[in-house]
Every structure is written in structure tokens, then in C-alpha cells.
Structure 1
Amino acid sequence: RRRLPHVEMMMGTGNLTELTEADSGGVTAILLGLCSELGIRNVLTVQVSPHTRRTIEEHDAARRLMFAAAADNALPKGYGAGLLQLHDRAPYPSTSREIAETAAEVRDANFRIATAEDGIHVFNRAGHHVARDAFSLFPKLGVEADGAHAFYLGAELAKAETAFSLGKRYAQDDPLDWGCGADRPEEDKNRLREAGHTLRAKA
């Protein structure tokens, strides 16, 4: 590059993403960062190994991230979370104390679920329980005779445990955000979202 600074170059990224047993998002971010620094505008990649099934989307997210950072002469952060697939920078929007304060104000039977640094919180007017293992919470909820509610709580608690284990942000009734690692559900931005299970009135 020093000898021929203006010559177009191509980087092949597949040898690293395909042949390294590591999640490809971080590898791709580093490679596209090198492309940005060296002025390499052409990239050849392949999507063959099952563990690189989202490499095209990762390359797209990485090129946008690095282009924006270079244009602003800034670090590649704060431009989008597409490459934060397994962990979030701020996984817990509320502290354990804040969740406890909210739980103390609840006056209905609907269960709320949240995560904080100490584990999974589930609460309603009957009590507030905290654990790191979703299975240990279930016997305390008293929903053995309510199959539909038990199924819903099981699905949400499993999702909350996954989020807590990985350090991802959990929001009740919303899917986990896997960045560009998975397709996101389409959402009509011109309409209000329907209420989730927790906000629907119980019969």
C-alpha cells in the first residue's frame, strides 16, 4: 500500500471467517477496520460454513460502521449495534433496587419479568422473586392450574435466562435483539404496537 497508494486492492476475508472456529462477526469487524485504514474498497467473501451463515449481513454492518467512524475521525462505536450479537453494552436498564421499588408498587396479579446484575426478577402483587436459574423460579409462581399462563411464563423466563447468561438486554414480550445475527421481525412504524401479553386485560 505504501508503494502503490492509489491502486485499487481487494481483500479476501473468507480464509479467516470460514477457517477460524470463532463467531465471525468480530473477525469481520477487524478485517473491515483494516480495509478502512488501508483504503481497500473491494472485499471478496464466501458463505459456506454453517458458522458463517450471516457473514454477508456482518460484512454489510461492519463496512457501514467503519465508513462512518472514518468519516467522523472517531472510534467505531455509537453508530449501531448490528455487530453486538451476543452481548450488549448496557444489558440492564434497571438496577436491582429500582426493580424492587417497582415491584413494591404493583397491585395486580400479572407477572412482570426483568433482569439485573443479580439475576432474573419476576414479580406481581403476591411477591418478588430473584434467581439465576429460571427453573428454580417456577415453583414459586403458583400457576400449576393455569396452563396458558404457565406456558407464557416458561417461554419468557427461558428468554430472560438466556439474556442474563449472555449479558443481553431483556424486555418482556419482545424478542431478543441478535443484531445482524438474525432477521428482525418486520414492524409497521406507522401503527402503534399491539399490547403484549402482560398488558392485556385478564378475563
Structure 2
Amino acid sequence: MVAKPFLEKIVKQLSDVEAKVLSLPIPIAAMMTSEYLTRELPRYPELIEWADIIIAPGFTKGDLKDVAKKLGKPVYKGCLYAYDIPILVEYLKKGGELSTVNPLDELLSKEKKRREEIILAELRREATKSCFEVGGKPVSPKYPLIMGEVFVNEEVDFDTIASKAHRLVSHGSDILVIGSSRLPLDVVADYSKKVKRLLNIPVGLDYFKYEDFSSLSDGEVDILLSFPADSILHFNPKEEFRKTAVVLIPDPFSTTVGDKISSLRAGLKHAIDKGFGKIILDPVLNPPQQAFIESLYAFKTARKEFPGYPILMGVSNFTELIDADSIGVNAVLASIGVEAGVDLFLVTEESAKTSYSVREFRKALDMALLAREMEKPPKDFSVNLLVCKSKKRRGLKPQELVNPVKASRPYPLKADPSGYFKIYVDHDQEAIIVEHYKHGDSKPSITILGTDPSAIINEILERKLASAPEHFYYLGRELWKAKTALKLGKDYVQDEELF
């Protein structure tokens, strides 16, 4: 009823199709059911006779099969939102089939997702043909690997490292790297061995004293980062150690693209002479505004110069050195890396602003690979990195403002006799923590953990931890802020604005 003028405007713009809008006496489409349509539509026999197909709002509840049986005409669910009607019409013109159960949006999204999963599965299958492996993982630009790094500069309880490692793997890391610039190598190596046993995943070491690598035994680690090209000449590995993958970087004073490529070429020759069988080249990505563009050209050149060797790109040189949300930066770097033919990406989450970078990069990489295979820009896939902004506005607003009142006075909060709450966000545990205090107590009476504000509120209700209505309003506001902060990897401080 409310949407009729908007629908008629859209229908008038359709070409090569005749369509009429039927307005039923119901306030909004979301209230419509199959039973309602079975009862109401027979009251419009002329329109039913005229139509070849009847399309109900996508929000209609129930199966429309019985409605079609009653009318003797096909009745299907359309799209959820009116602005997608042109998409629906084009879909039908191409022979697409609608459903009596699911709206068009779900049909298209399921089909799109299924097609994309087939493409990515085929890329993973093609990648297994690679003769180069790291810890059993095939290394190929067909489906590049992500190496997530846990950086440790002081001795900590292994549970802390295990927790971070678990999170990185669950977010998409194919290989885990333990890095340090301070701890003794035997301590860092011990961490990596424990992680490997715990998660059964390839592990690597990113260590500042490459000369100490010679003390390692075969099988302890699967990949070592990183050897400056000129250092390999002076490195004498054990025989069995030569089976470990090693990453070569240009000499520190190599600044131009030509210098980097020459340095890598010399280091590659030395590594081969030393008997290394698995050599990975990293031309080194420069930070923004510090010859970044030239470093990108070095990656493209390295891919052409060394076609038989994997290329690694460490993206933290960019993500950690720019004060911008990592989600957009990772999306761009993944696309650049895929286009440059990169085989492995090293991703870190060392600062708060790069939290969840592995998860972001996994999605970004899938988007870039799909775009490459489908020869289109990385957009309009079932997977995306649109978190804070929408792809398009749905235009959902009332047709007219009835008795508008401008809200200007905030609701005054009063002390609740049942107590008060302290709310925290633990990004490591991926949880919202809520402490309840009775007035006058210095220790909480109970601590509630969760991720769903509704579930936390329900726990508070059942335990009668709050009683004032305005207190529940306050809790709802703060808990949704906490959930948003948790989802975005953003810092949360109770009673402070999130943005």
C-alpha cells in the first residue's frame, strides 16, 4: 500500500514488458503471508486473468505453491526491495526461474556463491600441481598462500601464543610464522615447534640473526625469513637443513629496481651453490611515500626475471606504516599482489589498527583471484570487504512524515538500586566482558562473557541484575557499541563515542 507510488514509478521505466501493480490492503510487505494472498488475490479476477505470472514481495512468508494452485496461475516470490525489480525482470528475460519459497535475492546469492566456490576450488586443485611445497602446502600463484605472523619480543606463556596462533589459522593463515627481534633463537624455535605440534600446520621463523639459523635441525621449521642476498655466501647450513624453504631479500643498500633484481640474482646463485633446494624471493615492499611505486615494479620485474621461483610479499611494510583502516589497504594490496603474480603473502597483526588483517586478507585474496579468473574488477561477488559502508543505498524511509517531533533532550540516567556495570571488549578472546557491581562493593558480583548483546541482556534479566528501565536502555546502547568495536577491531571505552 505505502510503496505503490514508488513501485509504479519503477514499472513505468521497464522496457519490453507489461506489468501492473496491485496494492493490497496491508500496511507493509513484511506482514504479507501465503495465507493472506490465498484469501485476497481471488478478489481481483480481471487482473489475475490478465497476468501471465504473479510476483509477490520477497518478504512474503510461507510457500506460495498453494496460492498458485488456488489462482491457476504461476505465483512466485520476487525481490526483497523494490529497486531490484529491473534486475528481476532481466533475470526472467534470460530464462531464470523464480521460487515459491525463496526470494530472488537468495536464489541469486546462492547461485553466485556456488559458482565462486567452484572457481576457487579449481584454483586450489590447480595449485596442488606445483612441485614447490612448504610443509606440505603447495606454493603457486594460482592460489597464493597466506603466512600469518605472531611476533614475540619477550618470553610469554605459551598459551598466549597458542591463542593468537589459533585465531590466525581460523581466520585463514596457511602457514604460521613466529617472529622476534630480541629473544634467543632457541626460545623462538621452541615456540614454533610447539605451535606446529599443536595445530599440525607448517611453521616458519622470522628472526633478526640469520646466522643463528645454522643451529637448527631438519624438520624443526618449514620456512626461514629472511636472508639478505649477500649473506648466503657466508652461511654454511647442515646437509639436511637445505631442504628447508628460505626467503631471500635484496641487500639493504639496494634501492633501485635494477639494484634489487641484481642482488636477488646473485643471492639466488649463492643459495643454489650452497645446496638450498627451496628458495623464495622477496623484492621487499617499500612503505608509502618511500619509493613504494618503484618497489611494486620490482615485484613485477622479479616475476619475469625468475619465473621458476616463488615470490613473497610482506604487506605489513604498508599496513603498519599508514594510519588508515587495514581493511581497505589489504583489499588493494591483495589485488596488486595477485596481478603481480605473488605466490605467498606475509601478513602481521602487530598493532591495534591491523587487527584481523589475516581475515581481511583472506577475503581480499579470494576477491582478487575471482576477479582475475572472471576478467573483471573485484566487485559484485558474494564475498566483499564492505564493513562500514554500504554498496548502495536502499532508500528505506517513510513516504511522508506524520506528526514529526524533533528529539533534542537526552534521557537522564539515574542510579539503579540493583547495581551498575563495567563493560570491556577483549579482542584476543573475541568476547564482550560485563562485570556487575553492587553499590559499595569493590569486586564484581558476577562476570558475564559473550558476543551477542541480546544474550547478555537476557542473562542480566534472568539474574535480576538491573531493574530501572533507563538502565536497560543504557546497557543496550553500550553493548551494541561493544559489539561493533569487537567486529571492527576497534578500541572500546565505556561511555565514550566509538567514532
Q: Give TM-score scaled by structure 2 length.
A: 0.23
Give the match for residue 88 of structure 1: 390
**Does 2:307 match 1:9?**
no
CA displacement at 1:128 relative to structure 2 = 4.0
In the alignment, which of 366, 373, 389 is matched to residue 71 of structure 1? Answer: 373
In the alignment, which of 324, 327, 338 is matched to residue 36 of structure 1? Answer: 338
SS in 2 for 1:100: coil
How many angstroms apart in 1 are the aligned matches of 2:409 and 2:368? 43
How many angstroms apart in 2 are the aligned matches of 1:24 and 1:100? 39
Structure 1 residues not aligned, in runs of 5+: 105-126, 140-146, 163-174, 183-203
CA displacement at 1:30 relative to structure 2 = 1.3
AA at the equivalent of 1:72: M
Give the match for residue 355 of structure 2: 53
In the alignment, which of 94, 100, 106 is matched to residue 399 of structure 2? Answer: 100
The 3 A distance-change label for structure 1 pair 130 and 3 is farther
How many angstroms apart in 2 are the aligned matches of 1:68 and 1:129? 49
Given that residues 24 and 51 in structure 1 are in contact (C-alpha distance below 8 angstroms), is that contact kept between their aligned partners in structure 2? yes
AA at the equivalent of 1:10: L
Per-residue CA deviation, residues 85-133 of structure 1 (Å, 9 max, x unaligned), is: 222222x4235xx5135x76xxxxxxxxxxxxxxxxxxxxxx44567xx
Give the match for residue 325 of structure 2: 23
In the alignment, which of 449, 463, 469 is matched to residue 148 of structure 1? Answer: 469
Computing the radius of gyration from Cα coordinates, the structure with the larger value is 2
The 3 A distance-change label for structure 1 pair 64 and 130 is farther
Structure 2 residues not aligned, in runs of 5+: 1-302, 412-467, 490-499
How many angstroms apart in 1 are the aligned matches of 2:488 and 2:343? 24
CA displacement at 1:2 relative to structure 2 = 2.1
Q: Give TM-score scaled by structure 1 length.
A: 0.51
How many angstroms apart in 1 are the aligned matches of 2:350 and 2:469? 41
Given that residues 367 and 383 in structure 2 are in contact (C-alpha distance below 8 angstroms), is that contact kept between their aligned partners in structure 1? no
CA displacement at 1:50 relative to structure 2 = 1.0
Per-residue CA deviation, residues 133-162 of structure 1 (Å, 9 max, x unaligned), is: xxx2767xxxxxxx6389549957xx7xx9
Given that residues 11 and 43 in structure 1 are in contact (C-alpha distance below 8 angstroms), is that contact kept between their aligned partners in structure 2? yes
AA at the equivalent of 1:31: L
- Identify the structure with bigger relative contact order (alpha carbons < 8 Å, sequence gap 6+): 1
The percent of aligned pairs where both chains have the same amino acid is: 25
CA displacement at 1:47 relative to structure 2 = 1.1
How many angstroms apart in 1 are the aligned matches of 2:383 and 2:343? 23
CA displacement at 1:68 relative to structure 2 = 1.1
AA at the equivalent of 2:469: A
SS in 2 for 1:43: strand
Given that residues 13 and 43 in structure 1 are in contact (C-alpha distance below 8 angstroms), is that contact kept between their aligned partners in structure 2? yes
AA at the equivalent of 2:351: S
Give the match for residue 119 of structure 1: none
CA displacement at 1:44 relative to structure 2 = 0.8
Give 1:51-200 correspondences, 5 Å limit: 51-80=353-382, 82-90=384-392, 92-95=393-396, 98-101=397-400, 127-129=403-405, 136=408, 148=469, 151-152=472-473, 155=476, 181=488
Measured on the aligned residues, the alpha-carbon RMSD in Å equals: 3.6
